[in-house]
Amino acid sequence: MTTLEAGGLRDGYAELGDVRLHYVEAGDGPLVVLLHGFPEFWFGWRSQIPALADAGFRVVAPDMRGYNLSSRPARVAAYSTDRLAADVRDLIRERGADRAFLAAHDWGAGAAWATAMNHPEVVERLAILNAPHPNRMLRGLRQPRQLARSWYMFFFQLPWLPEHLLRAAGWSALRRALEYDARPGAFTPQDIARYVEAWSQPGAATAMLNYYRAAFRQLPRRAQERTRPIRAPTLVIWGERDRALGAELAEPDRADVPNLDRVVRLSDASHWLQHDEPDRVGQLLIEFFAGAADREPAA
């Protein structure tokens, strides 16, 4: 384990059977696991990691499988949500905890929803940023407006071509997705350089896109049949200027998330809400996770 240059963050590798996950860690106390989405890596939580650590939590932010310095399995099936959820469960245990608070964005939130369904015993509380509950997303894709917004998911199903175009264009599409959608200045040139370095790792582009490919290999009816109610107290934080996901997708059904705490809508934030409003997102997470100690007796 080494110490990173940014604020005493510790980094290491967790051996989880078929994959090796790189992570950064900070602080001491109850465990918080932060899960990034597409096309980020642990660095997407750079503003929230020190805030949570200063608030008395031990924070672990992994590079999810396929990203940056973590293992990049070759097969599409290796990126199913069941595999992603098992990674989260195993990471919590590898870091020496029985349970953890989860905060997750985009595809990381897809993994977090699945973890809370498949492995509820490891999830203390769940905070979701701009990622619909799977059943809500399936219904959304039946609507022409959301279907049009999600065009890129279908393009990503093509073999080899999407990643070839991304690399050939110097990652311009991914750069625009961050720089154009987010608030001006939310991503600095130095930040973008770190993302480009992560995307340029051998096999990383294909691995990132395989999340979408794996999701489309499961029939919608089968996916819906496999969902189970999420019992963990759940907070949803939603940036309403999201260009890819309609604001109507934010609210999960109570039957799916019976212990929904609330949905907090940030009217001026984009899909990249933890970058647009880093302090506000950090404070919401601290309040939600710290509230567990006030309202729930210790085990």
The residues annotated as belonging to the active site are 106, 212, 271
How many residues make up the chain in this entry? 299
Which residues have CB under 8 Å from 23's CB, separation 6+?
11, 12, 13, 14, 42, 60, 61, 62, 63, 91
Q: Residue 135 phi/psi, 5° resolution?
A: -65, -35
The two tokens of residue 132 are 């619909």
CB 45 within 8 A of CB 37: no
User: CA-CA distance, 47 to 62, in Å (whole number)?
Assistant: 15
Q: In Å, what is the CA distance from 240 to each residue of 113, 265, 299?
A: 20, 7, 38
CB 245 within 8 A of CB 237: no
CB 23 within 8 A of CB 257: no
Q: Is 8 exposed, middle or buried (0-12, 13-18, 19+ CB in 10 A)?
A: exposed
Residue 59 DSSP one-character state: E
